[in-house]
Structure 1
């Protein structure tokens, strides 16, 4: 009767780790590029009005914020009502049309979120709404805070 022996590999099999730092740096770079950390510096005061029925928008990347409120001046003073988009105060209301139209072309599912101070002039809000309508940005959201 013949006895058969199993052949065993004579060398150890190790996992190569020489490429690991490259993989780690590629992942780090990927997350740095895709993560959005930037916040807008508010140049206007916005105290949101209260509401009962509020819906939360899950896809924040689709939002573009327009802030309307009194301009913050040095010395904790407040000026006239202004419109702010991104980090810039918009002096000419007509510029909102082209700015928002360009944003809509970049992101077709864009939702414009209006954050309006509760003491702001209604006429300024109406002017902004007309410019948004001219820019064909019909998906508009009004930001509020929940009633206690």
Structure 2
């Protein structure tokens, strides 16, 4: 994936049915997690969205995706995938809010980034 400094804790969940995305030129990345120690004082302790090296609100997700799509060649725009890198401790509420914003801008191809492994290990803290 893209080289981005993480502002949030991002321990990815495990999954058994995974597929590697080979063509990263068509991937738009959204990272979600609680701010790490360096940014917790500034951003608080609630889960935050990170878009291209900055914190963002749910309302900014749609415009971010549209701007990233506009940077891509037209043939890639049609096959673009939004990759959600969500910390395994984050509640699904923020994920559902992000997915709603993605629906509004017709970004319907979504991928969840995970590690390969037993999904039951996700229950362990």
TM-score bin, normalised by smaller chain? 0.7 to 0.9
Superposed counterparts of 1:48-87, under 5 Å: 48-74=12-38, 79-87=45-53
Larger RCO (CA under 8 A, 6+ residues apart): 2
**1:68–1:115 contact (8 Å) kept in structure 2:** yes
Candidates 71, 81, 92, aligned match of 1:111: 81
Q: CA deviation at 1:85?
A: 1.0
Report runs of 4+ in structure 1 exceeding 4 Å deviation: 75-78
SS for the counterpart of 1:138 is: coil
Candidates 125, 131, 136, aligned match of 2:101: 131
**2:51–2:64 contact (8 Å) kept in structure 1:** no
Corresponding residue for 1:121?
91
Number of aligned positions between the proteins: 110
Q: CA deviation at 1:126?
A: 0.5
Q: Over residues 54-95 of structure 1, what are the superposed CA-to-partner deviations in whole Å (9 max), with x where a residue is unaligned?
A: 1011101111110111011339888210000110110x3111
Unpaired segments of 5 or more residues in structure 2?
119-125
Unpaired segments of 5 or more residues in structure 1?
1-37
Corresponding residue for 1:22?
none
In structure 2, how many angstroms separate the alpha carbons of the residues matched to 1:129 and 1:42? 21
State yes or no: 1:147 paired with 2:117: yes
Q: Over residues 18-53 of structure 1, what are the superposed CA-to-partner deviations in whole Å (9 max), with x where a residue is unaligned?
A: xxxxxxxxxxxxxxxxxxxx7100001111111111
Pairwise CA RMSD: 2.1
**1:66–1:113 contact (8 Å) kept in structure 2:** yes
Q: TM-score, normalised by structure 2?
A: 0.79
Candidates 92, 96, 99, aligned match of 2:64: 99
**1:45–1:70 contact (8 Å) kept in structure 2:** yes
SS for the counterpart of 2:82 is: strand
